[in-house]
Amino acid sequence: MATQKETIEFIIEKLRDPKRFAARAMFGEYALYADGKVVALVCDDQLYVKITPESSSLEAACEKGPPYPGARPHYIVTEEQLSQIDDLREILINISAALPEKKKKHKRTD
């Protein structure tokens, strides 16, 4: 089941900072970006946050599971938890800050 666009809009609204957060459609599902880096996925209308040291505070509140078959486990944040986890925005921004910068593509000279 593909994620509905309304789900993405709801999640971005809950994060209260549309300038820092964006989502891109990928095969019927979405990648959630913070400051230009993928910090979570939205699959089957569920938010899956990357498991990193910066997201460890979600350990007690969230279940873990893969967003799609063969994927690494992520924290599963339910719709109810989106309103209950007050620092989710900061967690996602901290994950982004800890991820490596994108490698610049070099132009080929032939």
pLDDT tens figures, 56-93: 999 999 999 999 999 999 999 998 898 888 899 999 99
Least Cα distance to 41 among 86, 84, 95, 85 occurs for 95
DSSP 8-state symbol, 10: H
pLDDT confidence of residue 71: 92
The confidence score (pLDDT) of residue 58 equals: 93
DSSP bridge partners of 29? 26
CATH number at residue 38: 3.30.1460
Share of the chain above pLDDT 90, in %: 66
Confirm whether 109 is domain-assigned: no
- Higher-confidence residue of 103 and 6: namely 6
Beta bridge partners of 32: 23, 40
104 within a domain of the structure (yes/no): no
74 and 48 Cβ atoms separated by less than 8 Å:
yes
More confident residue, 73 or 107: 73
Q: Is residue 79 part of a domain?
A: yes
Instruction: Give the structural domain span for 18.
Output: 5-97
Look at the chain and report how many structural domains it folds into.
1
**Mean predicted confidence (pLDDT) in 24-53:** 93
Chain-centroid distance, C-alpha 88: 10
